[in-house]
């Protein structure tokens, strides 16, 4: 499942051709993806100008001049690609071939910018929905999301308050989208390693009895910021399905400290430990038992 850096990378790739442009043609080439398309899905999009393209957690959000918002989720295998009339350059070193299976091209937006934006999703776990802007606060998909981890409001004090009474593991708390939105398994593993905190640690240990942040909380928030920003700069992590809108691969996976490195030496200077893997809440957790406490 793409996490925040992958979705933000896609947003930045779509922004130049989508923001400020009109949707001349909208096509839904099948009746559903993960959920059925709304009966008026195409009608509410066609002819609308995209006034802004944002992101909330793992969702892309296109603001329309009509007052509607197009909510888009990549699911497990969804990807956007941008096709321009003059886009004849050969794929580079980190590019997928252009000849991707077009049978999975399920949605197309033809933009006044001259670009075609195609959503391809072999597994059809992605979804799109048009929502009135003034109804977003009540939208079930969005209303319970926690703070953005790269937003100004997310700091050690906020994280400590959210975890103050939690007896769950620290990793489970960070994966809870109500605590912090957009984090997934990869970047939680990486942030916990960089902050030298065990994924088994009780979440409440981020807070004092008075609800103030501990040094653990401060280190963790700093590590989350660093990991996410580094991943965005690298175009995200391409493990299975993620690709940028140009077809280019993300390559943050080459900077992983622990994720998918079971049995390898810990990269913490002077540690000398070995990366281990165990199953936690149904997900693989990678960590160094020696330096993560």
Catalytically annotated residues: 2-3, 58, 283
Question: What order of strands is seen across the sheet that includes strand 68-73?
Answer: 50-56, 59-64, 68-73, 127-132
Give, in order, the Cα–Cα distances in Å from 233 to each of 12, 40, 61: 11, 37, 21
What is the distance between the alpha carbons of residues 169 and 77, in angstroms, rounded to a whole number? Answer: 29
What is the distance between the alpha carbons of residues 233 and 238, in angstroms, rounded to a whole number? Answer: 13
Q: Residues with Cβ < 8 Å from 245, sequence gap 6 or more? A: 10, 13, 14, 80, 81, 82, 117
Kindly report the backbone phi and psi dihedral angles of residue 135, in degrees, each rounded to the nearest multiple of 5, phi listed first. -110, 5
Backbone torsion region of residue 212, taken as left when φ is above 0, otherwise alpha when ψ lies between -120 and 50, otherwise beta: beta
């Amino acid at each position: 499942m793409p996490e925040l850096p992958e979705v933000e990378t896609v947003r930045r790739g779509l922004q130049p051709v989508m923001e400020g442009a009109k949707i001349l043609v909208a096509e839904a080439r099948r009746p559903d993806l993960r959920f059925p398309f709304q009966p008026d899905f195409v009608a509410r999009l066609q002819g609308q100008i995209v006034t802004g393209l944002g992101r909330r957690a793992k969702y892309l959000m296109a603001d329309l001049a009509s007052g509607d918002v197009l909510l888009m989720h990549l699911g497990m295998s969804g990807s956007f690609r941008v096709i321009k009339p003059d886009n004849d350059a050969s794929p580079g070193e980190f590019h997928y071939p252009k000849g991707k299976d077009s049978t999975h091209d399920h949605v197309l937006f033809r933009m006044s910018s001259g670009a075609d934006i195609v959503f391809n999703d072999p597994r059809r776990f992605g979804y799109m929905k048009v929502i009135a802007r003034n109804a977003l606060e009540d939208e079930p998909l969005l209303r319970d999301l926690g703070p953005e981890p790269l937003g100004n409001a997310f700091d050690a004090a906020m994280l400590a308050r959210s975890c103050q009474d939690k007896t769950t593991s620290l990793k489970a708390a960070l994966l809870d989208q109500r605590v912090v939105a957009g984090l997934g398994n990869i970047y939680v593993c990486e942030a916990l390693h960089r902050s030298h905190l065990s994924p088994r640690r009780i979440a409440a240990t981020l807070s004092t009895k008075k609800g103030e942040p501990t040094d653990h909380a401060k280190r963790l928030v700093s590590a989350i910021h660093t990991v996410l920003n580094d991943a965005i700069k690298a175009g995200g992590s391409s493990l299975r399905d993620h690709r940028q809108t140009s077809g280019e691969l993300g390559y943050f996976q080459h900077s992983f400290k622990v994720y998918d490195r079971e049995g390898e030496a810990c990269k913490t200077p002077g540690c000398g430990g070995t990366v281990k893997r165990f199953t936690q809440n149904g997900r693989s957790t990678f960590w160094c038992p020696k330096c993560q406490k």
